[in-house]
Amino acid sequence: MKTFQDYLSAPDKLDFIRQAINDHLNSEVYKIAVTADEYERQQNTTIRSYVKYLYTQTGQKVVDFTATNNKLCNNFFHRLNTDRCAYSLGNGITLEQKGLKGKLGKDFDTDLYNAGYYALIHGVCYAFWNKDTMHLFPVTQFCPLFDEDTGRLRAGIRFWSLDWGNKPVEAVLYTEEGYIRYRTKPGSKGLDLIEYQPLRAYKQKIAYTAADGDEIVGESNYGSLPIIPLYGSRRKQSTLVGMRDKLDAYDLIQSGFANDLQDCAEIYWIISNAMGMTDPDMNKFRDRIKLNHIAVADTENSPVTPYTQEIPYQARKAFLDDIRNSLYEDFGGLDVHTVAAGDTNDHIDAAYQPMDEEADDFEYQIITFVRQLLSLVGIDDIPKFKRNRISNQKEQTEMVLSAYGEGVIDRQTAVEKLSWITVDEVDAILDRMDAQDVADKRDMEKLRKAMEDDQTREDGEED
């Protein structure tokens, strides 16, 4: 891997960028990310490349063109990662100080959710902060340059192409001093790059005059590189690592079962008095049965007797269930089949325990990421999460209202604890409740004054 120190010492910066991108494309991190994208799209690579083979008498390996080759891809990878990401980020985040979140842009929660999902399936996602917008750089488009001494991200190269190898490549070098743009030289292909935009600062002050139009009158940078890595866990690796073998085993068993049903692979024939039949003749007879479902035989002298075996459905079904349960257990996901209708919150909380533990690790990475991002903007705050989970809402509502009625919790905490109220609705509800309190207090004051006026008139009449 190339580091920030390698960049500083490189005599030819353009050649260094080409080498760094090539090294990144050949790295294990990049290859795992590409494979993870395939599994995320339910295009599981192992089962899709699976081919059935036969071996001839000479030991030659040939493709069995008569065999059915169904390729059933499971969707566990997408489902489990979506569950973990939506559990922590599905309701967005809140900041302790009101009004500060608006400085992060209207799409911040959506961008953070997408960054979190990339961080899970790739192991890391890089976010470039530009004024009030977060641009996401996945592993498949960004080559990081870490500091050898501190391990901190000091620079990076983003690269992309509509059709790699056939269309031009765009690349941007991001440093603490600004960024430089590169593109493929006209008439060339791939990484034959040239610089087409020199070093430019991240912040620009533009003035407009009728004579000259827009003009850059000042430039400045952030205090550090405005690209922040968001990791999916302390392991800093894709969730596909360790999960792939079980996903592949599930696909192979499921597909094999479907192929057996279609091929009738468990049906075979015994031909009596056929000892003089050569292997090519028997293979020809078999292929004709499989392809045409009919064959001519001398049944008087060589009767053909079919035999069938029951396809071992129960064993395969049990093994598939074991793999499924193991996937959920290892990943820390919630299997909704373990939660029955009418379960109390104690039962539901117990089912969520593994997911809560994994979410704690994931949210720690998000907190670290968001605080680094806020420091770029000049905000000191800590994000809060409202986990997106099922619950016995009636039981929870009664518990929250009881605690509020007894004075154990305040009104804001009570509103935040209600599972059927989203994070974005809390402030608006509290504002309306405060406004209602003011109106009620004003009405009570009017009523009190009216009663005092009536009492004054009555006292005057008695006098």
DSSP 158: E
Question: What's residue 197's pLDDT?
Answer: 92
Average pLDDT, the chain: 82
Q: What is the DSSP string of 9-60?
A: H-S-HHHHHHHHHHHHHTSHHHHHHHHHHHHHTT--HHHHT---EEE-TT--
Q: For 360, phi and psi rounded to 5 degrees?
A: -60, -45
Average pLDDT, stretch 160-170?
88
**Secondary structure (DSSP) of 364-402:** HHHHHHHHHHHHHHT----EEE-------HHHHHHHHHH
Q: For the ranges 133-137, 183-187, 377-381, 395-399, which has the lowest average pLDDT?
A: 395-399
Q: Helix H segments across 41-182?
A: 45-48, 76-89, 108-122
Min mean pLDDT across 21-25, 251-255, 310-314, 408-412 is at 310-314
**Segment holding 154, helix H or strand E:** strand 153-160
Residue 441 has pLDDT above 70, yes or no: yes
Spatial separation of the C-alpha atoms in residues 243 and 235, rounded to whole Å? 14
- Kindly report the backbone phi and psi dihedral angles of residue 267, in degrees, each rounded to the nearest multiple of 5, phi listed first: -105, 130
CA distance 137 to 309: 54
Instruction: Return the ∠ at Cα 156 (arms to 154 and 162), rounded to 5°.
Output: 170
Indicate if the pLDDT at residue 306 is higher than 70. no
Q: Are strands 170-175 and 178-184 parallel, antiparallel or unpaired?
A: antiparallel
In the predicted model, is pLDDT for residue 414 greater than 70?
yes
The pLDDT of 126-152, averaged and rounded, is: 93
Lookup: tokens for 258: 């479907």
Give the residue with greater pLDDT, 347 vs 147. 147
Comparing 394 with 426, the larger pLDDT belongs to 426
Calpha distance 47→258 (Å, rounded):
13
Tokens representing 263?
A: 């091929």
CA torsion 284→285→290→292, rounded to 10°? 90
Tokens linked to 33: 């990310």
Which residues is 175 bridged to in the sheet? 178
**How many beta carbons lie within 10 A of that of residue 202, not counting itself?**
20
What band does 29 get if pLDDT is binned at 50, 70 and 90?
A: very high
What are the pLDDT digits (tens) for 343-397? 666 666 777 788 888 999 999 999 999 999 998 888 888 888 888 776 555 666 7
Helix (H) or strand (E) run with residue 270 in it:
strand 267-271
pTM of the entire structure? 0.75
Nearest CA among 260, 361, 357 for reference residue 308: 260
Q: Residue 129 — pLDDT band, cuts 50, 70, 90?
A: very high
Query: Which pLDDT value is given to residue 218?
Result: 59
The answer to whether 21 touches 112, Cβ cutoff 8 Å, is no
Q: What is the reported pLDDT for 389?
A: 72
Q: What is the Cβ-side half-sphere exposure of residue 257, based on CA atoms within 13 angstroms?
A: 17
Give 258-270 pLDDT, tens digit per residue: 777 666 655 566 6
